[in-house]
Each structure stands twice: as C-alpha cells, then as structure tokens.
Amino acid sequence: MEAKSRSKAIKRYFALFVLGMVAGGTVVLIWQGKITESLMKQNQYKSAEIVRLNEVIEDMKQLQKVARKKQETTIEEVKVFVLPPRPHEFIETAAIRLIEKELDPLKGMKTRTVADLHAILHELLYRREYLVDGKTVEVRLKTAYISSVLEVYVTIELKPEVP
C-alpha cells in the first residue's frame, strides 16, 4: 500500500506542479500582454508623429522653394513714379528718362543683391540734380520697392536759376 500511496503522492505533487506552471504561465502571459499592448500604443503614437512630421517637412520644403525662388528673382524692369508736386510734363518725362537710364545697370541683377544695395540706392538718388533743357532739376528719392519690377517713387523740383 505504501507504493500506491507513494505513487498517489507523486501524482498529487506533479499535478500541483503542473497547476503551478499553468498559473505562472497565465500570470506571465497577462504581464507580457500588458507590455505588448503598451508597445503597440507607443508604436501607433510614433507612426502618427512620423506622419505629422513628414507633413511639416513637406511644408518647410515648399516654403524653402518659395524663398529660393524669391532669391532667384531678377529685376526685369525699372519704373519711376513722380509724387506731387509735379513739374511741367516735359521736364518730368525727361527726368524720368534720365533716372531710368541711370538705374538701367540694375536690370538683370537678383533682387536679393539689390535689396542689399538699398542704402546705396537711396544715397544715389538723394538730392540728385539733373540738367534738363538748360534747367536744373533736383530729384529726391522717397521710396524704392524692389521686386521683379524696381519701382522708384521720387519728387522732382525745379531749382530756381541763379544769375
């Protein structure tokens, strides 16, 4: 009988051992499941973040292209506008022609380069005097707008003749 009871005890311990392994396995599976679920959530978050950042990168590339295009823009035309008080039309037209002729070398230059020379442009046309039809005309630069068309706003005053 002792052999039978010993065999039953071994089977009982073995059954307890197997039940312990099953319980332990279940605990490990639940624990690993939580870790796996946490990693899946992190993965989804990271994927969404990657998509968002790729969109930001695309937007930045577009802005960079626009900025580069602006830097590559060249001056194609020079326009001179006369602000009031205006002199006689003949004198005004002749002075505009002289100013455009003087600013002609800026055509073809990149707007970025001309923008760097903005102070020099103001210096060049600050109280500039021209001789038109035997009369002295003073030109003062008020505003310069630099884009593909260089727009220069000036005032023109006829200087009194000094005998």
Domain residue ranges in the chain: 1-71, 77-158
The pLDDT of residue 163 is above 60:
no
Mean pLDDT value of segment 100-105 = 81
The pLDDT of residue 46 is above 90:
yes
pLDDT value of position 43:
94
Of 68 and 34, more confident: 34
CB neighbour burial string for 68-82, b if at least 16 within 10 angstroms, e if fewer:
eeeeeeebeebebeb
pLDDT value of position 9:
84
Distance CA 115, CA 119 (A): 8
Out of 23-32, 46-55, 60-69, pick the least confident.
60-69
Backbone angle region of 127, left / alpha / beta, with phi > 0 → left and psi within -120 to 50 → alpha:
left
pLDDT value of position 40:
94
pLDDT value of position 148:
76
What would the pLDDT profile of 113-144 be if each residue is shown by its tens digit? Answer: 766 777 777 777 777 777 777 778 888 787 77
What would the pLDDT profile of 6-18 be if each residue is shown by its tens digit? Answer: 888 888 889 999 9
Nearest Cα neighbor of 135 from 100, 103, 94, 101 is 94
The number of beta carbons lying within 10 Å of the beta carbon of residue 141 is 19
What would the pLDDT profile of 52-61 be if each residue is shown by its tens digit? Answer: 999 999 999 9
Distance CA 20, CA 17 (A): 5
